[in-house]
Chain A
Amino acid sequence: MSVATETDFRDAARTACIAVCAGDWARLETVMRPDAVLQITEDAYLSGIATMAPYFEHYLEYYRLTLPRLDVICDGMEAAVEATLRLEYVKDKPGLPASSGQVTEIPIGVFFTFAGTRIVKGRVFYSLDDWMELFADPVAGRTAGEEAP
């Protein structure tokens, strides 16, 4: 059985974030246990990668997600990621304004707990208000902003 080092945990935290943004679930599974749980603000509680994949794919259909800045803070079996998430609205989503290449960048925080060599728990913090800045013109407004984007 391999023993994970702090470098492994840092790499795993980074890989998990990048894999989710890319919709690369096979890659995610290299660093996250299939039965891992994930909490996203107070909106979503996901259990298992098989549940996470369709949840994120729904968003990835409408948004291109990248991480232009990503810093990992690691301590023992825990790691946190402070990152900037770049959102590009690439396809019209029902109930939201038409896609016209809207782009914004928002701060996010992700906290990971490891078991063995892989992530077993994650928690994501972000502001829906920041996300809805994509549509923050007086016409588009925030009419759908109180719901998950």
Chain B
Amino acid sequence: MTRETGDLVLTAFNARDWDNVVARFAPDGLFYLGPCAPCQGHTAIRKLLDAFGAAYDIRIRHWSHIVDGNRLATQAGARITYKRTVEGLPEARGQTIDMPFATFLTLTDDRVSHFRVIFSPVQWRNAIA
């Protein structure tokens, strides 16, 4: 179930099916996306996904899991395209970068109670500068 949930979240993300992604989370599930402030609950997570989805086209191109009971650690890589200018960042001109990242997921009662994404935005900022 843990591996399948991880696959489902990442695949639904690629499909930009935010409803499906959010539905995997517990109502009070926590989502830590890099250096962003943590989001808790479906509404906050959906809002973050909407914001990222509006500015970026993100396709997770590969991933591999380590599964341990209700815990899942994943190494992955995404191709990110900057498609709409974000305030405070350089103008979007379709800049694209391949970004490695790691995720850590915990399932509680078959729902994601904790999902952390670790990546270094420096590489991204250098690419869009």
Contact = CB atoms under 8 A, between A and B. Distances in A.
Interface stretch (B17-25, B40-48, B69-77, B81-89): B69-77
A78 B16 CA distance: 30
For this complex, into which size category does the number of interface residues on chain B fall? 20 to 34
The main secondary structure of chain A at its interface with chain B is strand
Contacts of A72: 68
B67 A75 contact: yes
A126 B102 CA distance: 9
A80 to B, nearest CB: 3
Interface stretch (A24-32, A45-53, A90-98, A103-111): A103-111
A127 B120 contact: yes
B102 A129 contact: no
A41 interface: yes
Contacts of B118: 107-109, 125-127
Interface in B80-129: 100-102, 104, 116, 118-123, 125-126
Contacts of A129: 34-35, 120-122
Interface in A116-149: 123, 125-130, 145-146
B68 A73 contact: yes
A125 B101 contact: yes
8 contacts: A73-B66, A73-B68, A75-B67, A82-B104, A125-B118, A127-B119, A127-B120, A130-B35
Interface of B: 32, 34-35, 65-68, 71-73, 75, 100-102, 104, 116, 118-123, 125-126
